[in-house]
Homo-oligomer: A and B are copies of this chain.
Amino acid sequence: MKITYKSDYALKTILDLAAHFGNGPVAINDLSQRLDIPTKFLEQILLDLKRAGFVESRRGKVGGYSLGRHPGKITLGEVTRFIAGPVEPIACVDKKYSGCQDIGKCVFRDVWEEVNRSASRIIDNVTFEDLLKKSKKMNKAFTYQI
């Protein structure tokens, strides 16, 4: 797993779409402005997310993107794994990688797999509905502070 700009953009985009779930499609331009993501870059990310089934799209005048499923049915784990690869390890899974050719001899592998399981247990139990609720709570707290 590697949280790059692209994967971060993707996560934030899905969270935004979760916030607008049920209100019809949201245009790329709106997302792009609100989340401060280069429009053309976001386009590509959304197409990826669409191919994976996380979002749906609609063309034309009232077109835009919407979440493919209810926010409570999309986990952080699913999306992260899709856009950022497996949690751990990276190299051990890599085909080009020669260090782990005989898997039985790589003593590190077991540990990375345990890390992987442990991380998955966390992120597979967080839905975008959860994140959305937390986000709303945070914004409220932030507003009161002012």
Contact = CB atoms under 8 A, between A and B. Distances in A.
Interface of A: 1-5, 7-8, 11-12, 15, 36, 76, 87-92, 97-99, 102, 104-105, 107-108, 110-112, 114-115, 118-119, 121-123, 126, 131, 134-135, 138-139, 141-142
A131 B104 contact: no
A108 B90 CA distance: 21
B76 A138 contact: no
A123 B8 CA distance: 25
Given A90-B3, A98-B36, A131 B108 contact: yes
Copy tally for this chain in the complex stands at 2
A108 B11 contact: yes
Nearest to A89: B3
B126 A122 contact: no
A24 to B, nearest CB: 24
Nearest to A100: B8
22 contacts: A1-B88, A2-B90, A3-B90, A3-B92, A4-B90, A4-B91, A5-B97, A5-B99, A8-B99, A76-B111, A102-B142, A104-B138, A104-B141, A105-B135, A105-B142, A107-B134, A107-B138, A111-B123, A111-B131, A115-B119, A118-B119, A119-B119
